[in-house]
Structure 1
């Protein structure tokens, strides 16, 4: 049986529509396009249901035939979501008070989709973590209320089955997969006490030994928690708003690893700088981190937090694994130029390098063969539109909005795992009338003061590193202890260089050959000695430049005299 064709939902100022997905995107014949602008839209986890709010009501339809499942009179709804099994629709609207009700009306509502009846109305003032979190079998539902976690069982919201009492729980994440369910809890530090993340297995939530794992740290104003698909480990990105050392405008980030067997560690990153993205592989056996000052590094780590493969440096700030986990795309969106690097994860071989400038959205199609990039408003109000790509770099479909209109959101229809099998990776670009958009090679920037001078191959403006498999001699990735020692050596070397003042004149070279031959002419010997001294100093400057040091103007001018000095030395030695 052939796998289904995914749908693509498109929301904009011209309304909401469903399109039959790649390679072409034609209107879904069973879905009647809604011409009224939508506030939000969402699919159920298995993709069988689709819901949107057009400012008049909330509609739920079946994706296959477009038939209406339920309609709710909720014109102010701003956010929508389904429970994992698609039995409950969650709606949220901004909290407000009225003269008739000083407390305000409940703004978080849970609806039974089959009957259309209201299950529970709750108060949720903050938009952060607005939606309750379910286990995949819907046996457990968790909400954060007044800095503590409330647990409900079997969608019975009239009674709280369990509570997790802790000091000001700020964030949490329920594990994917079936029972037993686990939950990761973050508590920010206060009054000199450290912040910490703990893992619990429901229903064992109390007592000093209840936690499966515990990791404490000081540098954290907020955290991002990510479970792997098998619910065996968690990655926690801890961030501070301000870097007190002044090294980064983006604050400071640290990456922590916690496993349900109790193991915890700080992931050692070989390059200093921000952590832009962390992505788990669908296999749950490894994860990719994009980090470091630009050009950023990207490295794949295993569950021991040892490096597996280093992709070198490049203009990137995001990592996206395909749903099957066989392809990894490293991309640079936002303030970067939209370059994408497509990698075969099993062979660690680059497949293509397309470019999607001005893209504000990226997502994989569930088939693992196609992706969509979009330029959406209000992030960018010009050049709104989307493109459907094959991962080999071919643009299969392109749509640009008409003048005066805006594109707000595009969203793939999700499918359950296993619906689309993994296919062999292709390296030849797929056929397309729109062609490919390979990123053109670019010349390195040269300051105006150096543009009149000949370009030197050894000059480097950035610490560019090729991928691990393209380095001379097949350079290996260092272990955690080796990385730690390397960072210590680099820091010590940098401190010595900063403490050492720049010499005002060229240092005199030390000659290993103390018994130099004499020509019998003291004046000629003196000139030869001075010329060799200058040439030695030029050699040292060239070595410093090759190592990446930025030379001063007088040092560069000195290097330009090398040929003249060699010619003078040759004439003096011939005349002896």
Structure 2
């Protein structure tokens, strides 16, 4: 399969991390068939936790459970090795001169106060230049200016600023600071230097949370160039555009007090370095699934609302310039030039991927990529990779490469017994590739070796029998013929029957990417819920005729339910909030996992408990 005309002859390498080691794969430019080549790096290790390319692609780093190796990509020689066997995450500075590492924060008998777990190394010398404690794995990364002359980090609730002069002693003493509270976040803008500074401070004692913009080094409270305050914000994600002229604030709460969602609620705000700010208008209720800036820095996309979610493109005035309509989506990905956008539904959604031409506002293609846990555009902007990785999914691991037209051009299925943990394309400087011209020509692709999912709708056994003219009751175990008046005629047994009552409130239904994978019992329950009223009534009459109820007992039971419903149960409400908080944590962990992060064992165990917590929450709400 040939590349599009005018494409660069450079073919990015692909780093592959599995449970047996790390490899770098390459392809012939005209074939796009990726494979390991003997002249490329390969490390056999069962403890490789992280891989990372520098922003300009000069360096490739990975941890192997013994140390961190930093390689030069021009000849794949070793630049340096770093003594961090427990490193979980790696992050290069913007110009690739420094590498930050993070590992689990631990307390020992010898050091009950704990020890540093976030480190910064200078790559030219291999020396450790900075160390501190960062307990939170989601906000551990330091923030750099684009020219690496300034480093900002939050320690003990204070935003500290280090002016880096090239001498490693400049990391030993901060030059400025902004006081704050626990949970504060600081972020330096990309682009112009000195940079703009965004500082988020969470609210306390009923006061609002607040985000302020400054122009470094003017950091006094009265020197803020913009300020935005908001309630209902337990945390915030600060998202700068590429030029550093605007920032989006995605705020979220742990628990939605209105009860509309198990996972809290979100809101989106915009602040410009010119001083104006506003809330981004969203026309549908529900969570904000994804927010992404275009690389052109003049527009951004938001995927939001209960399923089917909406997606819209906004300008810097926060006006909608294009509505993509509704669909089963929870992700958005711009290519490196911002002229193509992928809208996708991953996680517990079926894996639909829509490719849009942003200039023409036209849909290029729609394809299915089921079981996708990772998505990344090729740096040339014409191809994208999807992968199914462990530990999120341990079956069907592998990756595929598609042309933007939807043609499959490469597929690698992982050997049985091995697990694919992550992939990452090599990065390149901005001027390496020319912006691709989008056409409707669809190059010839290959056929996937994986079997296609059945498109036939599932029909439960009792409906199949009805279609065949059989009475489903005669095939039903006697233990399932018992009925409870509160269950609308559904057969219930101690072992074989359905366990839960019908959901009474639509707000209790988890939609879209917030929904857990359905168990077989839940699928049967959903299909039985769709039976028409006449069939339900007929079934009720049959069961009641076979199993007459004790009227006195039933009346007492109903009276007791009415009385208990009238009395609020503080203890039960507390349990509901507690379980909802756990589900919120699981959602965040799954999102980090989908983005390629390696989670701890206890975090993976927590994710595996999601179905149990959902069932517990459903029972608590039904009996509240």
Asked if Structure 1 and Structure 2 have the same fold, meaning a TM-score greater than 0.5 normalized by the shorter chain, the answer is yes
1:18 aligns with 2:24: yes
Query: Which residue in the other structure is 1:230 paired with?
Result: 243
Instruction: Mark the structure with the bigger radius of gyration.
Output: 1
- In the alignment, the residues of structure 2 paired with residue 169 and residue 221 of structure 1 have an alpha-carbon distance, to the nearest angstrom, of 9
Normalised TM-score (structure 1): 0.75
1:319-338 matches, cutoff 5 A:
319-338=332-351
- In the alignment, the residues of structure 1 paired with residue 244 and residue 131 of structure 2 have an alpha-carbon distance, to the nearest angstrom, of 31
Shift of 1:435: 6.6
Query: Which residue in the other structure is 1:60 paired with?
Result: 70
Query: Which residue in the other structure is 2:155 paired with?
Result: 145
Query: Which residue in the other structure is 1:377 paired with?
Result: 390
- The structure-2 alpha-carbon separation of the partners of 1:249 and 1:167, relative to structure 1 and needing over 3 Å to count, comes to closer
1:114-193 matches, cutoff 5 A:
114-154=124-164, 156-168=170-182, 170-193=184-207
Shift of 1:440: 9.7
- In the alignment, the residues of structure 1 paired with residue 190 and residue 256 of structure 2 have an alpha-carbon distance, to the nearest angstrom, of 34
Query: Which residue in the other structure is 1:363 paired with?
Result: 376
For the 8 Å contact 1:354–1:439, the answer to whether it is kept is no
1:523-534 matches, cutoff 5 A:
none
For the 8 Å contact 1:393–1:436, the answer to whether it is kept is no
Deviation digits for residues 31-50 of structure 1 (CA, Å, limit 9, x no counterpart)? 23111131211111111101
Query: Which residue in the other structure is 1:277 paired with?
Result: 290
* Of 54, 58, 71, the match for 1:48: 58
- In the alignment, the residues of structure 2 paired with residue 445 and residue 184 of structure 1 have an alpha-carbon distance, to the nearest angstrom, of 51
- The structure-2 alpha-carbon separation of the partners of 1:419 and 1:144, relative to structure 1 and needing over 3 Å to count, comes to same
1:69-80 matches, cutoff 5 A:
69-80=79-90
Shift of 1:107: 2.5
For the 8 Å contact 2:153–2:186, the answer to whether it is kept is no
- In the alignment, the residues of structure 1 paired with residue 213 and residue 433 of structure 2 have an alpha-carbon distance, to the nearest angstrom, of 32
Query: Which residue in the other structure is 2:13 paired with?
Result: 7
For the 8 Å contact 2:152–2:187, the answer to whether it is kept is no
1:287-306 matches, cutoff 5 A:
287-306=300-319
- The structure-2 alpha-carbon separation of the partners of 1:166 and 1:392, relative to structure 1 and needing over 3 Å to count, comes to same
Query: Which residue in the other structure is 1:459 paired with?
Result: none
For the 8 Å contact 2:269–2:280, the answer to whether it is kept is yes
1:311-322 matches, cutoff 5 A:
311-322=324-335
1:412 aligns with 2:425: yes
- In the alignment, the residues of structure 2 paired with residue 167 and residue 78 of structure 1 have an alpha-carbon distance, to the nearest angstrom, of 27
- The structure-2 alpha-carbon separation of the partners of 1:30 and 1:551, relative to structure 1 and needing over 3 Å to count, comes to closer
For the 8 Å contact 1:395–1:437, the answer to whether it is kept is no
For the 8 Å contact 1:149–1:169, the answer to whether it is kept is no
For the 8 Å contact 2:8–2:434, the answer to whether it is kept is no
- In the alignment, the residues of structure 1 paired with residue 258 and residue 150 of structure 2 have an alpha-carbon distance, to the nearest angstrom, of 44
Provide the aligned length of Structure 1 versus Structure 2: 461
Shift of 1:438: 14
Query: Which residue in the other structure is 2:502 paired with?
Result: none
* Of 176, 196, 208, the match for 1:194: 208
DSSP 3-state at the match of 2:141: coil
Query: Which residue in the other structure is 1:81 paired with?
Result: 91
Shift of 1:285: 1.0
Shift of 1:202: 0.8
- In the alignment, the residues of structure 2 paired with residue 91 and residue 221 of structure 1 have an alpha-carbon distance, to the nearest angstrom, of 26
Query: Which residue in the other structure is 1:426 paired with?
Result: 439
- In the alignment, the residues of structure 1 paired with residue 269 and residue 171 of structure 2 have an alpha-carbon distance, to the nearest angstrom, of 34
1:263 aligns with 2:276: yes
DSSP 3-state at the match of 1:354: strand
For the 8 Å contact 2:159–2:185, the answer to whether it is kept is no
- In the alignment, the residues of structure 2 paired with residue 312 and residue 436 of structure 1 have an alpha-carbon distance, to the nearest angstrom, of 33
* Of 196, 211, 219, the match for 2:224: 211
- In the alignment, the residues of structure 1 paired with residue 400 and residue 531 of structure 2 have an alpha-carbon distance, to the nearest angstrom, of 45
Query: Which residue in the other structure is 1:473 paired with?
Result: none
Query: Which residue in the other structure is 1:36 paired with?
Result: 45
Shift of 1:126: 2.9
Deviation digits for residues 223-274 of structure 1 (CA, Å, limit 9, x no counterpart)? 1111111111111111122222222233211111111111111111111111
- In the alignment, the residues of structure 1 paired with residue 317 and residue 458 of structure 2 have an alpha-carbon distance, to the nearest angstrom, of 40
More helix by share: 2
For the 8 Å contact 1:227–1:235, the answer to whether it is kept is yes
RMSD, aligned α-carbons? 3.0
DSSP 3-state at the match of 2:140: coil
- The structure-2 alpha-carbon separation of the partners of 1:102 and 1:246, relative to structure 1 and needing over 3 Å to count, comes to closer
- In the alignment, the residues of structure 1 paired with residue 65 and residue 234 of structure 2 have an alpha-carbon distance, to the nearest angstrom, of 36
Deviation digits for residues 127-174 of structure 1 (CA, Å, limit 9, x no counterpart)? 232222111100100110100111001251111111112344522222
Shift of 1:102: 4.1
